[in-house]
Amino acid sequence: MINFTVGPVQSSEEICRIGAEQVPYFRTSEFSSLMKENEKLILQFAKADEKSKAIFLTGSGTAAMEATVINLLTSKDKVLIINGGSFGQRFVNICSVHNIPYTEIKLERGKDISEDQLKEYEGKNYTALLVNVHETSTGVHYDINLISEFCKRNNLLFIVDAISSFLADELDVSKLQIDVMITSSQKALACPPGISILVISEKAEKLIYENDPHSLYLDLKDALKNAERGQTPFTPAVGILIQINARLKEIEHKGGIEKEIEKTAELAEDFRKKIKGLPFEIESDSLSNAVTPIHPITNSAYKIFEILKDEYGIWVCPNGGDMSDYMFRVGHIGNLTKEDNSKLVDAFLDLQKRGII
Ligand SMILES: *Cc1c(COP(=O)(O)O)cnc(C)c1O
pLDDT digits (tens, 9 = 90+) for 91-135: 999 999 999 999 999 999 999 999 999 999 999 999 999 999 999
Which pLDDT value is given to residue 149?
98
Is there an atom of ligand 1 within 6 Å of 68 CB?
Answer: no
Which pLDDT value is given to residue 34?
98
pLDDT band at 167, cuts 50/70/90?
very high
Is there an atom of ligand 1 within 6 Å of 86 CB?
Answer: no
Compute the distance from residue 285 Cα to the ligand 1 centre, in Å: 21
* Over residues 13-20, mean pLDDT: 98
- For residue 132, which atom of ligand 1 is closest to its CA? 13
* Over residues 17-30, mean pLDDT: 98
Its pTM stands at: 0.98
Is there an atom of ligand 1 within 6 Å of 132 CB?
Answer: yes
Distance of CA 105 to CAs 22, 81, 89, 341, Å? 47, 6, 11, 36
Sequence letter at residue 70: I
Asked whether the beta carbons of 109 and 283 are under 8 A apart, the reply is yes
Residue by residue, what is the 3-state secondary structure of 11-42? CCHHHHHHHCCCCCCCCCHHHHHHHHHHHHHH
Which residue's CA is the closest to the ligand 1 atom numbered 3? 61
Asked whether the beta carbons of 133 and 290 are under 8 A apart, the reply is no
Compute the distance from residue 123 Cα to the ligand 1 centre, in Å: 31
User: pLDDT tens for residues 290-326?
Assistant: 999 999 999 999 999 999 999 999 999 999 999 999 9
Is there an atom of ligand 1 within 6 Å of 188 CB?
Answer: no
Which residue's CA is the closest to the ligand 1 atom numbered 4? 61
Q: Choose one of 57, 140, 163 to mutate for the ligand 1 pocket test, by most ligand atoms within 8 angstroms of C-beta.
A: 163
Which residue's CA is the closest to the ligand 1 atom numbered 6? 61
Is there an atom of ligand 1 within 6 Å of 185 CB?
Answer: no
Which pLDDT value is given to residue 230?
98
Is there an atom of ligand 1 within 6 Å of 184 CB?
Answer: yes
Is there an atom of ligand 1 within 6 Å of 189 CB?
Answer: no
Compute the distance from residue 304 Cα to the ligand 1 centre, in Å: 24
* Over residues 46-70, mean pLDDT: 98
Which pLDDT value is given to residue 154?
98
Is there an atom of ligand 1 within 6 Å of 45 CB?
Answer: no
Which residue's CA is the closest to the ligand 1 atom numbered 10? 61
User: pLDDT tens for residues 237-270?
Assistant: 999 999 999 999 999 999 999 999 999 999 999 9
Q: Considering the chain, what percentage of its residues have pLDDT values greater than 90?
A: 100
Compute the distance from residue 302 Cα to the ligand 1 centre, in Å: 21
Which pLDDT value is given to residue 256?
97
Q: Choose one of 87, 131, 169, 181 to mutate for the ligand 1 pocket test, by most ligand atoms within 8 angstroms of C-beta.
A: 87
Which pLDDT value is given to residue 70?
98
Asked whether the beta carbons of 323 and 305 are under 8 A apart, the reply is no
Is there an atom of ligand 1 within 6 Å of 87 CB?
Answer: yes
Is there an atom of ligand 1 within 6 Å of 161 CB?
Answer: yes
The rounded distance, in Å, linking the Cα atoms of 331 and 3 is: 8
CB-CB neighbours of 177 under 10 Å = 16
The rounded distance, in Å, linking the Cα atoms of 51 and 153 is: 22
Which pLDDT value is given to residue 78?
98
Residues in contact with 88: Cβ distance below 8 Å, sequence separation at least 6, in sequence order: 81, 82, 104, 107, 131, 132, 135
Distance of CA 245 to CAs 190, 240, 242, 263, Å? 12, 9, 5, 20
Is there an atom of ligand 1 within 6 Å of 62 CB?
Answer: yes
* Over residues 153-181, mean pLDDT: 98
Distance of CA 151 to the CA centre of its chain: 20
Q: Which run of H or E residues covers position 247?
A: helix 238-253
